[in-house]
A = this chain, B = another copy of it.
Amino acid sequence: MSLSEFELIHRFFRDLGAARDDVVLGIGDDGAITRVPPDHELVTTVDTLVSGVHFDENAAASDIGHKALAVNLSDLAAMGAEPAWATLAISLPEVDESWLQSFAEGFNALAAKHRVQLVGGDTVRGPLQVTVQLQGLVPNGAALTRAGAQPGDAIFVTGTLGDAALALQMIESGATPSETVLGQINRPVARVAAGIGLRDLASACVDVSDGLAVDLGHVLAASNAGATLQLKALPGSVAIVVVGDEQERWRLQLAGGDDYELCFTAPADNVGQIDALARELDLRITRIGEVEKKKGLRLARPDGTLWDMPPGGFEHFRA
């Protein structure tokens, strides 16, 4: 890129997000310098969004800016980490000032909300892609991981499941999703405060990005355990509970993905504290099943009969 373009981009990205005391040197040198507080560990995550794959080619730039950070915030939330510093690599077919302005606004609003400071960036000419790398802080040993679920632990999920999948399905069939449902795709909310609140309560945690069945499967694999989920317990929005075909509804909720909720396990003794956290955060937290010694994922129908999740995952559920 030419120098004038460089200056333009520099202007948009120089001061994105919060101004943090632990940033010794921000954007503008060969690297940023930051300080990790004593007795804290660093949690690092990275996600790339590709135009036409992870967002629609006509998506609003501000939504892309929001989502690129939100999907990383969701990963940090699943680790119980407090967000701190981000880097942003953007590939753009051309330098479009209004697009950059809008992207920066979407990114900035979410970054400021979570006290994230942008400390590094690279802008290149190429097909539209956005890679955000995000770092967070957690007291030594307090991070949540996918390992640690114990037989007997209860399984929970925050918020509701299936809206993003429903929205995609409606769009593909030519229907118009409601603003709320569409928001789940364009402006996902990461459960950062819930993740931090769960540090001392959860035994394992994952964010639901690929679909509950797949992501819970990661927890069970890492924890060397199995589980049974109660299908009737799966929390859904008003939009999803009116889906008439219950198998279709479950498919959206278990395999849809893009929910960016937290699925976590916890000893049954912690249920009271988890309820208190839900009230404090004004966040729905639903108990949906139980961790078991027997490997595999079983789905309990409302009538109590069990369905074994086939090895190929939920996509083969109806076959």
Q: Which of A118-126, A243-251, A289-297 contacts the other chain? A: A118-126
Q: Is the interface of A mostly helix, strand, loop or mixed?
A: strand
Q: Which one of B45, B85, B129, B133 contacts A129 once the chains associate, using CB atoms below 8 Å?
A: B129
Bound together, the chains give a CA A312 to CA B200 distance in angstroms of 58
User: A222 at interface (Cβ–Cβ under 8 A)?
Assistant: yes
In chain A, positions 108-150 with a C-beta closer than 8 Å to chain B are 119-122, 124-127, 129, 131, 133, 135-136, 138, 140, 143, 145-147
Bound together, the chains give a CA A138 to CA B124 distance in angstroms of 28
27 contacts between A and B (CB under 8 A): A3-B313, A24-B41, A24-B143, A28-B146, A29-B222, A30-B75, A30-B76, A30-B78, A31-B43, A32-B43, A32-B45, A33-B43, A33-B145, A34-B41, A34-B42, A36-B36, A44-B120, A45-B120, A46-B87, A48-B89, A48-B124, A50-B91, A50-B124, A53-B125, A53-B126, A91-B129, A126-B127
Kindly list chain B residues whose C-beta atoms are within 8 Å of the C-beta of A78: 30-31
**Residue-by-residue, is A59-75 near B (CB-CB < 8 Å gives 1, otherwise 0)?**
00000000000000001
User: A81 at interface (Cβ–Cβ under 8 A)?
Assistant: yes
